[in-house]
């Protein structure tokens, strides 16, 4: 079930990177019209989506690694949402100093982090119960 959901989300990212950026900016950024997303971001989202969808089609080490990485990322954003915001701003935008984040987005970042940790833990538990 989780693998299917992860695969579908990867496929959606691959097919609609502009929509993903738009949704992210609408929810996270207070002044989305002020920022210019770096040129490589949309192709990177598409590539990441293809990779996630492909990995999710197969069970095994690659999927386990993907879910472990998801859990690690989730723990980081759960514990350090401000660090995530600073990194994302510098990484994603050409003029990061012009970006203003929605303050309520910290709660959303923590909720996403919690979900990622939960999904990774559930996947880990399922893998280890099979053996």
Give the residue with greater pLDDT, 32 vs 51.
Answer: 51
Output the average pLDDT for the chain.
Answer: 91
Q: pTM of the full predicted structure?
A: 0.84
Q: Is 82 a residue whose pLDDT tops 70?
A: yes
Joined together, the tokens standing for residue 6 give 């992860």
Q: Is 59 a residue whose pLDDT tops 90?
A: no
pLDDT band at 55 (very low <50, low <70, confident <90, very high): very high
Region 8-29: mean pLDDT is: 94
Q: Is 43 a residue whose pLDDT tops 90?
A: yes
Joined together, the tokens standing for residue 120 give 């990774």
- Number of C-alpha atoms within 13 angstroms, CB side, residue 108? 12
With CA atoms as reference, report the closest residue to 78 among 107, 103, 100: 107
With CA atoms as reference, report the closest residue to 71 among 115, 108, 126: 115
Give the domain ranges of the chain. 2-130
Beta-bridge partner residues of 29: 101
3-class DSSP state for residue 23? helix
37 and 93 Cβ atoms separated by less than 8 Å: yes
Q: Is 131 a residue whose pLDDT tops 60?
A: no
């Amino acid at each position: 079930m989780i693998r299917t959901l992860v695969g579908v989300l990867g496929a959606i990212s691959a097919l609609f990177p502009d929509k993903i950026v738009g949704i992210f900016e609408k929810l996270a950024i207070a002044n989305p019209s002020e920022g210019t997303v770096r040129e490589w971001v949309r192709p990177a989202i598409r590539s990441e989506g293809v990779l996630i969808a492909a990995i999710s089609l197969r069970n095994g080490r690659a999927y386990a690694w993907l879910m472990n990485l998801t859990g690690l990322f989730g723990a980081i954003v759960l514990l350090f949402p401000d660090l995530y915001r600073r990194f994302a701003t510098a990484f994603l935008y050409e003029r990061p100093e012009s970006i203003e984040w929605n303050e309520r987005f910290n709660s959303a970042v923590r909720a996403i982090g919690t979900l990622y940790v939960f999904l990774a833990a559930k996947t880990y538990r399922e893998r280890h119960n099979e053996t």
